[in-house]
Amino acid sequence: MQYRTFGRLDWRVSALGFGAMRLPVLGDEAKQIDAERATEMLHTAIDGGVNYVDTAYGYHGGKSEGFLGQALQGGYRQRVMLATKLPCWLVEKPDDFDRLLNEQLERLQVPQVDFYLFHALNGKAWPKLRDLKALDWAERAMADGRIGHLGFSFHDSLDVFQEIVDGYDGWTLAQIQYNYMDTDYQAGTQGLRYAAGKGLAVVVMEPIRGGMLARTPPAPILKLWDQAPVRRSPAEWALQWVWQQPEVSVVLSGMSTLEQVVENLSSAARSGPALLTVDDLALVDQVRDKYRELAPIPCTGCQYCLPCPSEVAIPRIFEFYNDAMMYNDLGPARLRYSWLKEEERASACEECGACEALCPQAIEIIEWLKKAGEVLGQQQ
Ligand SMILES: NC(=O)c1ccc[n+]([C@@H]2O[C@H](COP(=O)([O-])OP(=O)(O)OC[C@H]3O[C@@H](n4cnc5c(N)ncnc54)[C@H](OP(=O)(O)O)[C@@H]3O)[C@@H](O)[C@H]2O)c1
Ligand code: SF4
Ligand code: SF4
């Protein structure tokens, strides 16, 4: 295992972190964690040098923390730093902070969690937490020993990210979505460097884009990978690209099989900011370009077409559809589409044409919405 610096802390983190969000389950129920297989995976990871474990209140329908509480018994807890997250969306009043943290500590069977993150901060959740004096509360919880260090995970635009980084001097870590496709998405490369430059440890989630860069790569992508002088799986290419960034502290992977744990441990052992050659990096650039070419709708996400009078979420629908086509994977796109409100879906379009007149890419929005709605609206 390779170990890397962790912001201002005098502690080195394993290059690979264990994300407890995609554990094997029995049947189709996310809540039914296959404890035997998942425990074997977790112990293999820790025995292989992993010293960072990430979970959250809501993972696996609320069962991930309880699973870890059990699986980290027998001395494993002492070998790792444990991170969990406050479900910001469940906080309505100041008393909720203590209630939720105490419940989490109980589930995890620990008196203290090493890293406590405000989960999925964005432009709406951050002001809400600030108004509820979340930072004052967190400082009290650090002082009384229930929280070791404070951080946040993030899903929004770069300017919101910078505002949050600058909004508190006491952050130890920031967790961002980052992979070779998302260099300009959400915090992106600029956010990564911004946070690291301010002394925060940057924890990376979705390094394989939730598995999309490895699950079923389309033939033109596989053809490109085949040109590489060093053979690597698509998963390893994605992970190594993230480890190549010196500002990254730890790369979380939500592994779902023991084989993936074993493969990712061996990738992590080879990892480092100088592993990929100039030619390797150029090949990754080609793969990124090829993926983008595979996106059928030339939507840039500029949002000039919004607001739609019927509230249709035009660019998000196009993003889901493009992702499904690019990554040859309908499942995640259909799931995200199902989370849209009824009025945000393609079927709510009344064909008024207002959006088409505003789109700088001259996209035939109405026709594409029909097609996307048909494909994404089907049951999985
Ligand atoms: N705070 C937040 O808002 C938030 C959001 C997302 C994630 N997270 C955290 O970050 C962690 C990492 O994110 P992620 O799970 O999305 O990471 P990821 O590594 O991008 O995706 C995980 C998926 O990649 C695939 N995979 C992993 N290793 C592989 C290998 N060696 N070969 C082939 N496929 C492989 C698996 O897909 P299959 O299961 O299809 O095989 C796995 O489920 C999560 O587990 C969670 O702890 C936090
Ligand atoms: S054409 Fe459809 S999507 Fe476009 S603005 Fe009108 S209702 Fe909204
Ligand atoms: S205006 Fe066109 S390019 Fe911009 S988000 Fe809307 S559909 Fe996409």
CA 228 to chain CA mean position, Å: 27
Asked if 1 and 271 count as a contact pair (C-beta separation under 8 A), the reply is no
Q: Which residues line ligand 3 (CB under 6 A)?
A: 299-305, 314-315, 318, 358-359, 361, 363, 365
Spans in the chain with pLDDT lower than 70: 379-380
What does the pLDDT read at residue 29?
Answer: 87
Q: Which of 363, 367, 371 gets mutated to test ligand 3 (max ligand atoms within 8 A of its CB)?
A: 363
- Write the CA distances from 60 to 56, 65, 347, integer angstroms: 9, 9, 31
CA-nearest of 238, 252, 248 to 284 is 238
Closest-CA residue, ligand 1 atom 27, reads 255
Give the C-alpha separation, 108 to 61, whole Å.
15
Distance 373 CA to ligand 1 centre (A): 27
Q: Which of 157, 292, 297, 299 gets mutated to test ligand 3 (max ligand atoms within 8 A of its CB)?
A: 299
Give the C-alpha separation, 301 to 373, whole Å.
18
| Phi, psi values for residue 8, rounded to 5° | -85, -5
Distance 158 CA to ligand 2 centre (A): 28
Q: Which residues line ligand 2 (CB under 6 A)?
A: 308-310, 312, 314, 349-355, 365-366
- Write the CA distances from 103 to 8, 99, 228, integer angstroms: 29, 6, 49
Q: Which of 54, 205, 249 gets mutated to test ligand 1 (max ligand atoms within 8 A of its CB)?
A: 205
Ligand 2: atom nearest CA of 351 is 1
Q: What CATH number does the domain located at 3-284 have?
A: 3.20.20.100
What does the pLDDT read at residue 28?
Answer: 81
Count of beta carbons in the 10 Å neighbourhood of residue 117: 26
Contacts of 310 (CB under 8 A, 6+ apart): 343, 348, 349, 350, 352
Closest-CA residue, ligand 1 atom 46, reads 19
Which stretches within the chain are classed as H helix?
A: 35-47, 59-62, 64-71, 95-108, 125-131, 134-143, 158-166, 188-197, 219-226, 234-243, 258-270, 278-293, 314-326, 330-338, 354-358, 365-376
- Which ligand has the shortest distance to the CA of 361? 3
CA-nearest of 21, 64, 28 to 380 is 28
Distance 353 CA to ligand 3 centre (A): 13
Ligand 2: atom nearest CA of 353 is 1
Ligand 1: atom nearest CA of 239 is 19
List the chain domain ranges: 3-284, 314-376
- Write the CA distances from 162 to 156, 159, 170, 172, 246, integer angstroms: 11, 5, 14, 15, 19
Q: pLDDT for 208-257, tens place per residue?
A: 999 999 988 999 999 999 999 999 999 999 999 999 999 999 999 999 99
Write the DSSP symbol of residue 33.
B
Residue 92 CB-density burial (10 A; 0-12 exposed, 13-18 middle, 19+ buried) = exposed
- Written as one string, the DSSP assignment of 279-348 is HHHHHHHHHHHHHHHT-SS------TTPSPTT---HHHHHHHHHHHHHTT-HHHHHHHHHTS-GGGSGGG
Write the DSSP symbol of residue 185.
S
Tokens of residue 129, six digits: 């937490």
Helix or strand run (H / E) with residue 204: strand 201-205
What does the pLDDT read at residue 380?
Answer: 61
Residue 226 CB-density burial (10 A; 0-12 exposed, 13-18 middle, 19+ buried) = exposed
Closest-CA residue, ligand 3 atom 8, reads 299
Closest-CA residue, ligand 2 atom 4, reads 355
Q: pLDDT for 301-310, tens place per residue?
A: 889 999 999 9
Q: pLDDT for 143-175, tens place per residue?
A: 999 999 999 999 999 999 999 999 999 999 999
Distance 254 CA to ligand 1 centre (A): 3
- Which ligand has the shortest distance to the CA of 54? 1
- Written as one string, the DSSP assignment of 129-158 is HHHTTHHHHHHHHHHTTSEEEEEEEE-S-H
